[in-house]
Amino acid sequence: MENIKLKYGCNPHQKNAQVYCEKLPITILNGTPGYINLLDALNSYQLVRELDIALDLPSAASFKHVSPAGAGVCFPLSEEEKQMYFVKGELSPLAVAYTRSRGADRLSSFGDFVALSRECDESTAKCIKREVSDGVIAPSFSDKALEILKAKRNGSYTVIQIDKDYVPPKSEKREIFGITFEMDRNDVIFDKSYLENIVTDKKQLTQSAIIDLIVASISVKYTQSNSVCYAYRGQTIGVGAGGQSRIHCTRLAGDKADRWLLRRHPKVLNLPFRAKLSRNTKDNVIEQYLNEKREIDLFSKDKLEEYFDGPVEILSEKEKEDYLKNIRGVSLSSDAFFPFEDNILRAYRSGVNYIVQPGGSIRDDQVIKACNDLDIVMAFSNLRLFHH
What is the tens place of the pLDDT at every residue in 267-276?
999 999 998 8
The least confident of 9-13, 131-135, 210-214, 250-254 is 9-13
pLDDT computed for residue 90 by the predictor: 92
SS (H, E, C) 241-269: ECCCCHHHHHHHHHHHHHHHHHCCCHHHH
For residue 31, give Cα distances in angstroms to 116, 154, 344. Answer: 18, 10, 45
CATH architecture of 2-167: 3-Layer(aba) Sandwich (3.40)
Model confidence at 236, pLDDT cuts 50, 70, 90, reads: very high
- Asked whether 283 and 134 are in contact (CB, 8 A), the reply is no
Q: What is the pLDDT of residue 109?
A: 96
Whole-number CA gyration radius for the chain? 21
Altogether, the residues listed in the chain come to a count of 388
317 DSSP assignment: H
Query: What is the model's pLDDT at position 296?
Result: 76
Confidence check: pLDDT of 265 > 80: yes
Per DSSP (E only), the strands in 7-49 are 18-21, 26-30
Q: Report residue 341: phi and psi, to 5°.
A: -75, -10
Q: Which of 30, 64, 256, 353 is catalytic?
A: 64
| 2-167 and 187-262+324-380 agree in CATH topology | yes
Does the annotation count 13 as an active-site position?
no
Cα 98 to Cα 61: distance, rounded to the nearest angstrom:
7
Residue 64 designated active-site: yes
Residues 6+ apart with CB under 8 A from 13: none
Query: How high is the pLDDT of residue 302?
Result: 79
CB-based contact 115:136 (threshold 8 Å): yes
Q: Where are the beta strands (DSSP E) in the chain?
A: 2-5, 18-21, 26-30, 59-64, 67-73, 112-116, 133-138, 158-162, 171-176, 179-184, 227-231, 236-241, 330-334, 352-357, 377-380
Residue 252 neighbours by CB under 8 Å, 6+ apart: 228, 238, 240, 243
pLDDT at residue 102 above 80? yes
Annotated catalytic residue within 7, 65, 202, 369: 65
The pTM for the full model equals 0.95
pLDDT of residue 292: 77
Mean pLDDT (the chain, rounded): 94
The sign of the torsion formed by the CA atoms of 345, 327, 357, 45 equals: negative
Q: Which is the catalytic residue, given 30, 37, 226, 353?
A: 226
Lowest mean pLDDT among 217-226, 303-312, 319-328: 303-312
- Report the C-alpha dihedral over residues 243, 220, 42, 179, rounded to 10 degrees: 50
Query: Contact at 8 Å (CB) between 188 and 386?
Result: no
pLDDT reading at 373 higher than 80: yes
Q: Give the start-to-end residue ranges of the domains of the chain.
A: 2-167, 187-262+324-380, 267-314
Q: Which CATH class is domain 187-262+324-380?
A: alpha beta
Tell me if residue 179 falls in helix, strand or coil. Answer: strand
Among 236, 235, 284, which residue's Cα sits nearest to residue 256? 236
Burial (0-12, 13-18, 19+ Cβ within 10 Å), 186: middle
Q: Is 65 a catalytic residue?
A: yes
